[in-house]
Amino acid sequence: MISKDNLKDLYPLSPMQEGMLFQTLMAPERDIYHEQVVYYLNGVIDPGRMEQAWKSLFVRHDILRTVFISEKVKRPLQAVLHQHCGPFCYFDESTGNSRQRNTGQAISFDDQTIQKIVKQHQQEDLADRFDLLRTPLMRMRLLKLADQQYALIWSMHHIIMDGWCTPLLLNDFLSAYYGQNQSRPTGLPYNQYIQWLEQQEPSQAKSFWQVRLAPVTQPAKIPFQSFQKGTNRPLATDAAPTDAMQTTQSETVAITGTQKLKTRCVMSREQYTHVKTISRQWQVTENAVIQAGWALLLAHYNNQSDKDSRPEQTQSIVFGTLVSGRPQHLSGIENTLGVFINTIPMVVSIDDQSTFVDLCRQVQSWLLESADSQYLPLSEIQSCSPLGNHLINHVFAFENFPRLDNHAEVAHGDGFEVKKTEKVEDVPYDFALVVSPDILTDQQALTENSTLAFEFLFNQKQFPEDLGHRIFSHLTTLLDSMGNIVQLDQVPAMGIDYVPEAEIALITEFNDTKRPVPEVTSFIALFEKAALEQPDAIALIDEHVTWTYQDLNHQASRLARILIDEMGVQKGDHIGLSVNQGHRYILAVLAIAKCNAVFIPSDPGYPGKRQVQTFEQASCRYVFVGQLSEQMTEQLSESQGDTLRYVDFSVLQTRAMGNQQHIEYSDTRTSTESSVNDLAYIIYTSGSTGTPKGVMIEQQGLINLIRWSQNAFELKPGCKITLFASTAFDASIWETLPGLCCGATLVKFPRTIRTDSGAIAAFIEKQQIDVAFVPPALCSELVTLYSHQIKNCRLLSGGDVLGNLGAMLSDVRVINNYGPSEFSVVATSGVLKSEDHYPYSIGRPIDNTELLILDRHHRTLPIGVPGEIALSGLSLGRGYFGNDTQTGQRFIAHPYDPDKKIYLTGDRGRWIGDGYLSFEGRLDHQIALRGHRIEPVEVEKQLLRHPDIKSACVVAVTNSGQNKSVHLTGFVVRDSEQLTETALKDWASRALPDYMVPAEIKFLETLPLNSNGKVDRNYLMTLAINETDTSSIAHPLTETEAKIAAIWKQVLGLEQVDRNAHFLQIGGHSLTATRTVSLMKPIFGDRITMPMLFQNPVLKQLAQAIDKSQVAATRSEIVNHAHEDQSATSLRRRDRSQYRAQVSENKN
């Protein structure tokens, strides 16, 4: 307890101090604000004199004698004491006898031993955590390492001082040590600054931040998350280091006592010259230049664009920046010790026309215009933004602190000098960037030969070890590029190069995929070659149907002859297929290929209307059907004209069976002259206009897929491959043709077991299947539940995100694949291993594939930065049939090779190391669901066709389970309340495949709109996940809940608090949490802690946690009493025993 006699002053905390207190109470074991600096000193030092100089600091400065009170008070307070001095400890390590003042013979240590000694002292100091209420918050250790060689470990808690104070305090310390007059004024008392803060009216500051933060819709992220696969190769390869790495100094070290790494990079003099030139020429500060450069990098890294903005694309980049927080109108404030700094948002708006000079001026104006509002706590500033506490996820600091004074004794040799410093500090973010002059004292003051140092502090569990080097190479490349631009105010900033040439070379190496392909012009030639080489091998097993290669080839040739001779099928004709996967479907595909015609598959199970629409749009000359459904027959009767001719395929098959009536049909090759650029098939995918799109795939794409698959999956004659996929899904082509073109055996899964993973596993084991394509959800079940039955089978999966398979991958071989229909099924592939992190990589580019990660201007992004996946190579499709507009939008000119085209997938991805890729989701609203690409607008348009629906919006919702399954949720506004969810689903299923029918439909009065007047899909997704009934308040049910609710109402200024309320969602933040816990402690005692509040943020959960802790405490108390009683009884017995023994001894 603090005695009244020792109490000098008592006043509240500053906003930054309250934030630090909150963080300390939340995680006392981390002690992230324990700052430690090691000064390595050379010269003559008098330890006694230094101790006296140390004590004088505590006499001179009130803030050093301050402790902090957070319990049993309405709000935290800081108390200034009359007497309170931090410890000064001297250790003579030079004699080898540490921990003692020893004057024995000195021992010579090498540098490694010295580092070990210092590190041990550092760790001991860090382990001694500061008690904010009881112990002094600054201390010092002086270590003598050798004659005239010392290490000074200076530790303090950041809650008493900010970085600006460090040189002020060092000057006072050195002045006292050298006996110089304390000429520097002490500055304004810190409590007067607190009084000024208390007098401010925050409403005006909040209004400022609300207006300025309104354009910010998402935080700016640091993209380089730890790579999940590969060797995390650095940017600078052995063969070609970047220019930045050649001309700068850099090192990465672990920060003692934390989970963070610190990388320190120093700019070359030439690069710093670019900074100074820009600063002078455009009359902006160096701080503005560096922060503008950082904002520009973040714009590239986040690759943001507001797709609803018109006409230009504007990004609002936001990050935290440290400001001094010292109001200039308070006289003497610059010499005051205390915590003044604050973190505020820095927002930089960047559009396609913004120049770098514009960005520099924006930064400088922002700092000036926000000056009167910078005192507001960050938590309150963030509450002015819709993003709340997600607004800022990292912090930038440009340190331009006062410099140390020069002390004459150093120059005359009667003293010591600082040779180097090592600083241990932490920040409450996973990433921070600190920029400062590369100097120690004003003897090395900024001159023409000086430069800037960049320190990157980052969580090594979240980011790769070379993070700092990567970012620094981009920043310095950017500066080098600007140094070559004459009119910097005329060049769009987003067009300035920032990716080093060495990194571009490494990405080019990732795309070194050129491999030979068979010299044929059609895939059918590969099949016919396999059939001729092994005519008696089994080609296909379809339940009760088994065909050899000779059977299949002969029947396909005979059927092709019928198509050509009797039906007039010609090269390039479009033939629709509404035939189930199996022997009939495969026969039809091969026969159509022998005619050099184009097959267009559909699933017979799809609604008749959708199938007719597909075949009409594809201009099919014929449509082969297994059987005409009633729905399709009805649709045909409504269809205008007779452009579609439907043929019962079973009749054609019978004629091609080779019976006596048709023995005259030739079995020889029937196809005419062909080219690798001829179309092989057209596959229809969901369309953004509400109409499916027909993707045209040429023969060369199919041939490349076939040969790559054969090599990658070790396909060879005799191996067994399953048939699983729907014929409307291009995976059906992938699982069919590579095997048929090498003599493998295709085995169709029985229809009755397709949804039974146990039965599928048994089927794979019994049939001795070698390769099976299975959708991700089924793949997860097979691996986790039936690995012992499928251990000899290679599982191919793709089309959606694969679930976490964990250690089971050591028993089963799973290959994860990615590729859009527009790129011949597969673009990347990779074998998964048990040591791979989840979510899994989608592998590397397949043979003859170039994969680029592009920004929205179609420029290459660095390794690790997400962007749009773009594809080029032999597998590239021709475009969309009958849709030149969308073809032109997606199949565009290659940005670096005008003779090529690339396909913009609309998928987000990033390179993650050694040429592996990570899938990061969709750029637009298209959804990947169960292997199908779905445009929500297509589903919405179908819902809107219902006469009782006024408006509709469909979103994808990800479940919170381990496998993150996805389903569709439809939000609709209806005219009639008689329309039910079931009725609407049934109506939609008549025109949509089952995977496109929303799993749930919710009725709303109106659809919510965002600031651009568009439907707010993000809000709807949140609503779908966290739908709650807000029509009534659920009042507290227990005494504990009622007490908590009363405190929450008091602190948050609410009239009512629901027992289901979430503390952070009803206005709570770090500062209010500190006050809440402070008010709860007198009621609930030590049972309530800061971590408990944040681990149980829902009121009823917090009440349960408190009650449970009370029960546990009561039980523990009962047990302790029992032990005490037992101990007392034992003690009495022992005393009696000793007494008897003593009596017996006396008698003797």
Each residue's pLDDT tens digit, 443-465: 444 445 579 999 999 998 889 99
Which CATH code fits 196-224+239-401+416-498?
3.30.559.30
pLDDT at res. 1075 = 83
SS3 content of the chain, % helix, strand, coil (to 5): 40, 20, 40
* DSSP letter for each residue of 934-984: E-HHHHHHHHHTSTTEEEEEEEEEE-SSTT--EEEEEEEEES-TT--HHHH
Q: How far is CA 181 from CA 187, 334, 406, 407, 778, in A?
A: 16, 20, 14, 12, 80
Determine the 3-state secondary structure of 417 from DSSP. strand
Q: Is residue 1119 scored above 90 in pLDDT?
A: no
For residue range 384-433, what is the model confidence (pLDDT) as tens digits? 987 887 899 999 999 876 655 554 344 334 678 888 888 887 888 999 99
pLDDT at res. 626 = 85
**The domains spanning 4-184 and 196-224+239-401+416-498 adopt the same CATH topology:** yes
Highest mean pLDDT among 346-350, 611-615, 838-842, 1007-1011: 346-350
Distance, in Å, from the CA atom of 904 to the CA atom of 893, rounded to the nearest integer, reads 10
Mean per-residue pLDDT for 679-690?
81
Lowest mean pLDDT across 124-128, 845-849, 980-984: 980-984
For residue range 986-1045, what is the model confidence (pLDDT) as tens digits? 888 877 876 788 888 999 887 786 544 457 777 888 887 765 333 457 889 999 999 999
Q: Is residue 713 scored above 60 in pLDDT?
A: yes
Query: Of the candidates 890, 827, 891, which has an alpha carbon nearest to the alpha carbon of residue 688?
Result: 890
pTM comes to 0.78
By CB atoms closer than 10 A (0-12, 13-18, 19+), residue 926 is buried
User: Domain boundaries in the chain?
Assistant: 4-184, 196-224+239-401+416-498, 552-674, 935-1025, 1036-1148
Count how many Cα atoms sit within 13 Å of the Cα of residue 359 in the half-sphere of its side chain.
35
Query: E strands within 651-725?
Result: 679-685, 693-698, 720-723
Q: Which helix (H) or strand (E) holds 315?
A: strand 314-323
Q: Which CATH superfamily is domain 4-184 in?
A: Chloramphenicol acetyltransferase-like domain (3.30.559.10)
Lowest mean pLDDT across 161-175, 745-759, 1127-1141: 1127-1141
Q: Rounded to 5 degrees, what are φ and ψ at 839? A: -75, 150
For residue range 574-617, what is the model confidence (pLDDT) as tens digits? 999 999 999 999 999 999 999 999 999 999 988 888 898 899 99
Q: Six-digit token pair at 123?
A: 């760790």
Mean per-residue pLDDT for 333-339?
92
Instruction: Specify the DSSP class assigned to residue 227.
Output: P
Cβ–Cβ contacts within 10 Å for residue 444, how many?
13
* DSSP letter for each residue of 1044-1106: HHHHHHHHHT-S---TT-BGGGGT--HHHHHHHHHHHHHHHGGG--HHHHHHS-BHHHHHHHH
Query: Of the candidates 933, 940, 934, which has an alpha carbon nearest to the alpha carbon of residue 954?
Result: 940
Mean per-residue pLDDT for 943-964?
75
Distance, in Å, from the CA atom of 1019 to the CA atom of 1023, rounded to the nearest integer, reads 6
Determine the 3-state secondary structure of 900 from DSSP. coil
Q: Which helix (H) or strand (E) holds 1002?
A: strand 1000-1003
Q: Which CATH superfamily is domain 935-1025 in?
A: ANL, C-terminal domain (3.30.300.30)
Determine the 3-state secondary structure of 785 from DSSP. helix
Beta-ladder partners of 794? 771, 813
Which CATH code fits 552-674?
3.40.50.980
Reported confidence tier of residue 109, pLDDT bands at 50, 70, 90: confident
Distance, in Å, from the CA atom of 94 to the CA atom of 143, rounded to the nearest integer, reads 9
Query: Of the candidates 1024, 891, 894, 1043, which has an alpha carbon nearest to the alpha carbon of residue 967?
Result: 1024
CB 359 within 8 A of CB 214: no
For residue range 133-163, what is the model confidence (pLDDT) as tens digits? 888 999 999 999 998 999 999 999 999 999 8
Largest Cα–Cα separation, the chain: 133
CB 626 within 8 A of CB 604: yes
Reported confidence tier of residue 308, pLDDT bands at 50, 70, 90: very low
pLDDT at res. 419 = 81
Return the CATH class of domain 1036-1148: mainly alpha
Q: Six-digit token pair at 646?
A: 């439907």
Distance, in Å, from the CA atom of 1053 to the CA atom of 925, rounded to the nearest integer, reads 39
Mean per-residue pLDDT for 891-916?
93
* DSSP letter for each residue of 572-612: T-EEEEE--TTHHHHHHHHHHHHTT-EEEE--TTS-HHHHH
Q: Rounded to 5 degrees, what are φ and ψ at 195? A: -60, -40
pLDDT at res. 240 = 33
Cβ–Cβ contacts within 10 Å for residue 893, how many?
12
Beta strand 452-459 pairing with 7-12: unpaired
By CB atoms closer than 10 A (0-12, 13-18, 19+), residue 880 is buried
